[in-house]
Chains A and B, each alone.
Chain A
Amino acid sequence: MTQLGPFLLGAPWALAALLALPVIWWILRATPPAPKDIDLPSLRILEGAEPREETPARTPWWVWLIRTLAVIAAILGLAQPVYAPGAKTEDAGASGPVLIVMDNGWPSAPRWGELMNAATATLDGAERDAPVHLLLTAPQQLNANPAERMSRTDAAKRISSLRPLAWNTDRKDALERLRASGLRPSRIFWASDGLDSGSGRAFAEDLAAIAPMTVFAAPPRGPAAITAITSETDSVSVTLRRADPDGTERAFVSAMTLDGSALATAEVSFDGGATEAQADFTIPAAALARIARFAVTGRQGAGTVWLWDSADRSRRVGLVGAGADAQPLLSDMHYVRKALEPFASITEGDIETLVAESPDAIILTDVGQILPEDAERLAKWVEEGGALIRFAGRAPCRAGRRFAARAAAPVFARPWRGARLGRAAGAGALPGDVALFRPHRTGGCARDAASACPSGSGPCDTYLGAPCRRVAPRHRGHPRHRHDHPLPHHGGAGLGEPCLFQCLLADAAPVHRGWPRRVDRRRRRRLHAEADPRRLWPPLCARPGRRAAEGR
């Protein structure tokens, strides 16, 4: 494109044909006008008559002028002029490779169509033969090499086949990949998701340093993500964030079950200038248990979905009452209730009632003597997947020897909120001191584990078992693994989460001396693999302590 006044000339060299105008003019002048067609029957008379002067009449001047002007107009037309006042001509290097950078992380999902359109429009604007390169900012295992050359049509196909990913972009990594590829683009188009994410500005500057860059960066509309969730016994509040604080906005959050049906919908409204808003749900506890996720209605992408599971969920806990107490403030029940109240819905009753209700967990405070029928029921319930938590106070220790031979006695554990309850309960009600459990070598899973470890004076050693979320079927109900190892024992009923915490009495330990480490390791690996604090209970790991081994 060459600029000539307010015109852009697509083929300026065509103007050189104007030099040939004098020749054309001469030829046009020399060409006689078209003869008039006349019928004359007596023409035969003139047969053989030669005209004396055959010099044709000259073209009239106005015919010549019109023809010359037509030639000039044709030449100007071939120069492809475009009337574009104030247009800037592009650099000569604009025909080089075009690099298209696309943010394909989760923030792009709601307006993925816009990004694709913008990228495709850039392709249309690019030179016909310019190679196109593609750089995707979200990290992926087999990410596209930006050095790969694509034709325009291939790139369009490729772009239309892309989908946004569920995780965030890593622009630094993308820049590294671009540098490593050694690509020298002459033009860059960045279809950004509109979120700075802490690296956007630097990324843009780095890209602009490589080549002239165009950015598509309209601020995203609507809520961008669910950032937090807090739950009470019968209420949940979901916190949403948005990127653009201007204007008011409304959105709806749905609480959905596993099969995708919405149990409740709450409205969120962002005030002008606010980037955060809350959606409050009031849902009965029984219904709350069925909720699997929260999602913003009508918004695509992973950002606006919150998977809701055991980490946030309030549980139904059954407390086995110890009957009337003269000093309620000193009773075990009181502290357990106090500790659990904000997080769980608590039912009190005797073992028979509680087992019939089948809560998420049954807690036995310092209960030593259990009726044989109740013990049967408890054992059955546990085998079917119930979680039984037992505090190992004096009473169990007294009764320990009697029970140890038959079945493991439940032990204290508090899976949700670390060692606080353990300490409190241990300080008041447990015979031994409470110490932090030595973190397991392999890290993660023992993070929150606490051990209520009786002192050496106690008649028994107490261990914490780690909850086992899922156990491979072959372990289920296997006689060898059923009662005779100290790790949490799955009930085998296939209910998923409930676990049994066992207490090993000192004289029960020999049974486990030969416990296979291989199994232990395998199971631990499984636990580690699933060690996501949002999806699992804080795992508690335990293994036979040194003292137990030495005690033999």
Chain B
Amino acid sequence: MTPAADLRAEAEALARQLPNLNFKAEASEAAHIGSAGRRRAGTGEHFWQYRRYAQEDAADRVDWRRSAKGHDLFVRETELETARTVLFWCDDHPGFRWKGDGELRTKAEEATLLMLALSILLSKDGERIGALGAGRAPSFGKRAVDRLAEDFARGTGRKFPSPPRKPATLVVASDFYDPIPEWQARLAPLAAKCAEGIILAVASPTELDFAFQGRVKLHRPGTDMSRIFGRAETMREEYQKRYTAEREALRELTNRMGWRFVSHTTGTPPIRSAAQLKAQIESFGAKA
């Protein structure tokens, strides 16, 4: 287990290696008034541009200081400043907070690391971030990252959270080993509320390989489910076939919801998955 502080430091390092997040301004449909400049004229504090007076503009919108310099009338526009809300959820099932033999971090820690790195990028960009189902409102700034880390450590009591009250961008991290219909039932309310979401599936190499031999008794942590295989090696092929099928089904489910799918394997460099995660969250703004 990596202490939370170490995890936080690693996430900082990871975020530093990534280029700045770029939510496309035009993609910003969100209703929240915030500090994130949307690179277009709108309601905000900061100057955006002067434009020529149009007939439909009200008279009091004329910027007299600028207009006095010449013969034309100019209107002063500010940049539109809004904030998007990104909510994270990390599975706290014992099977997710588990690591195989010889692995450095549990799957939950890896997921936390990735999501913290993303949240650092987001908070730098001025977005509102928070934990889904944590019971507190999403917030801005560096404190928000700390709160997120706390909420991850606390978990949600092994319950899948209910959807947020207002639409937000969701990042849901788990191993998704429960049957797909079950996940579909869980995710459907979320998808109905929030159109944007990312599924972060973290797996351990042990689970990918199924490199067992001989007589083994397999046990799923956190449950009383166990099975004895007289010869585990004969099951490997079947397992891997099923595993792939599961992942495919999950990906298809994600697509159907209009969400994005990112998978990560513990032990591989997190930078790739983090970059992928960033790219996927940026893609929500990439409307043609």
Given the known inter-chain contacts A38-B212, A51-B235, please indicate yes or no for A43 contacting B230, CB distance below 8 A: no
Interface residues of B in 199-219 (CB under 8 A from A): 203-204, 206-207, 210, 212, 214-219
Q: Are A56 and B230 in contact (CB under 8 A)?
A: yes
Instruction: Say which residue of B96, B216, B219, B230 sits within 8 Å of A53 (CB atoms).
Output: B230
Q: Are A51 and B220 in contact (CB under 8 A)?
A: no
A331 and B242 alpha carbons, distance in the complex (Å) = 151
Q: Are A57 and B231 in contact (CB under 8 A)?
A: yes
What distance in Å separates the Cβ of B115 from its nearest Cβ neighbour in chain A? 19
Contacts of A209 in B (CB 8 A): none
A53 and B178 alpha carbons, distance in the complex (Å) = 26
Q: Are B218 and A53 in contact (CB under 8 A)?
A: no
* B31-39, B48-56, B159-167, B221-229: which lies at the interface: B221-229
Interface residues of B in 107-139 (CB under 8 A from A): 107
A34 and B107 alpha carbons, distance in the complex (Å) = 29
> Does any Cβ of A come within 8 Å of B141's Cβ?
no
Given the known inter-chain contacts A45-B177, A45-B239, A49-B238, please indicate yes or no for A40 contacting B206, CB distance below 8 A: yes
| 30 A-B pairs in the complex with CB atoms less than 8 angstroms apart | A32-B230, A34-B215, A35-B229, A37-B219, A38-B216, A38-B218, A39-B98, A40-B220, A41-B96, A41-B107, A41-B204, A41-B220, A42-B95, A42-B177, A43-B225, A43-B226, A44-B225, A45-B177, A45-B239, A45-B243, A45-B246, A46-B218, A46-B242, A47-B179, A49-B238, A51-B229, A53-B231, A56-B215, A57-B214, A57-B215
> Does any Cβ of B come within 8 Å of A52's Cβ?
yes
A residues lining the B interface (CB < 8 Å): 32-47, 49, 51-57
Given the known inter-chain contacts A56-B215, A57-B215, please indicate yes or no for A41 contacting B98, CB distance below 8 A: yes
Interface residues of B in 221-259 (CB under 8 A from A): 221-222, 225-231, 234-235, 238-239, 242-243, 246
A37 and B219 alpha carbons, distance in the complex (Å) = 7
> Does any Cβ of A come within 8 Å of B175's Cβ?
yes
Contacts of A34 in B (CB 8 A): 215
User: Size band of the B side of the interface?
Assistant: 35 or more
Q: Are A57 and B207 in contact (CB under 8 A)?
A: no
Given the known inter-chain contacts A51-B230, A53-B231, A57-B231, please indicate yes or no for A42 contacting B207, CB distance below 8 A: yes
Given the known inter-chain contacts A41-B221, A44-B179, A52-B234, please indicate yes or no for A36 contacting B214, CB distance below 8 A: yes
Given the known inter-chain contacts A44-B179, A46-B238, please indicate yes or no for A38 contacting B217, CB distance below 8 A: yes
Q: Are B177 and A44 in contact (CB under 8 A)?
A: yes
Contacts of A38 in B (CB 8 A): 212, 216-219
Q: Nearest CB to that of B97 among chain A residues?
A: A41
What distance in Å separates the Cβ of B227 from its nearest Cβ neighbour in chain A? 7
Q: Is the interface of A mostly helix, strand, loop or mixed?
A: loop
A43 and B227 alpha carbons, distance in the complex (Å) = 8
Q: Are A39 and B230 in contact (CB under 8 A)?
A: no
What distance in Å separates the Cβ of B201 from its nearest Cβ neighbour in chain A? 11
What distance in Å separates the Cβ of B108 from its nearest Cβ neighbour in chain A? 11
Instruction: Say which residue of A37, A41, A54 sits within 8 Å of B175 (CB atoms).
Output: A41
Q: Nearest CB to that of A55 among chain B residues?
A: B230
What distance in Å separates the Cβ of A447 from its nearest Cβ neighbour in chain B? 108
Contacts of B214 in A (CB 8 A): 36, 57
Instruction: Say which residue of B96, B107, B179, B219 sits within 8 Å of A43 (CB atoms).
Output: B219
Beyond A38-B216, A56-B215, 8 extra complex contacts between A and B, CB < 8 Å: A38-B212, A41-B96, A41-B221, A46-B227, A49-B238, A55-B230, A56-B231, A57-B214
Given the known inter-chain contacts A38-B212, A49-B235, A49-B242, please indicate yes or no for A44 contacting B219, CB distance below 8 A: no
Contacts of B234 in A (CB 8 A): 51-53
A52 and B233 alpha carbons, distance in the complex (Å) = 11
* CB-CB nearest 8 A-B residue pairs: A41-B95, A56-B230, A35-B217, A42-B207, A43-B220, A35-B215, A40-B218, A54-B230
A47 and B246 alpha carbons, distance in the complex (Å) = 12
Q: Nearest CB to that of A53 among chain B residues?
A: B234
Q: Nearest CB to that of A42 among chain B residues?
A: B207
What distance in Å separates the Cβ of A402 from its nearest Cβ neighbour in chain B? 137
Instruction: Say which residue of A36, A42, A52 sits within 8 Å of B216 (CB atoms).
Output: A36
A73 and B231 alpha carbons, distance in the complex (Å) = 33
Q: Nearest CB to that of B237 among chain A residues?
A: A52
Contacts of A37 in B (CB 8 A): 216-217, 219
Over the window 86-115 of chain B, the binary record of Cβ atoms lying under 8 Å from chain A Cβ atoms (1 yes, 0 no) is 000000011110100000000100000000
Contacts of A33 in B (CB 8 A): 215
Over the window 174-185 of chain B, the binary record of Cβ atoms lying under 8 Å from chain A Cβ atoms (1 yes, 0 no) is 010111000000
A51 and B95 alpha carbons, distance in the complex (Å) = 23
A206 and B93 alpha carbons, distance in the complex (Å) = 93
Q: Nearest CB to that of A33 among chain B residues?
A: B215
A154 and B205 alpha carbons, distance in the complex (Å) = 78
A11 and B230 alpha carbons, distance in the complex (Å) = 42
What distance in Å separates the Cβ of A496 from its nearest Cβ neighbour in chain B? 104
Contacts of B207 in A (CB 8 A): 40-42
Q: Nearest CB to that of A46 among chain B residues?
A: B239
Contacts of A57 in B (CB 8 A): 214-215, 230-231
Instruction: Say which residue of B96, B175, B177, B221 sits within 8 Å of A39 (CB atoms).
Output: B221
Q: Which of A33, A35, A53, A57 has the most CB of B within 10 A?
A: A35
Given the known inter-chain contacts A42-B175, A44-B177, A45-B177, please indicate yes or no for A36 contacting B217, CB distance below 8 A: yes
A195 and B219 alpha carbons, distance in the complex (Å) = 84
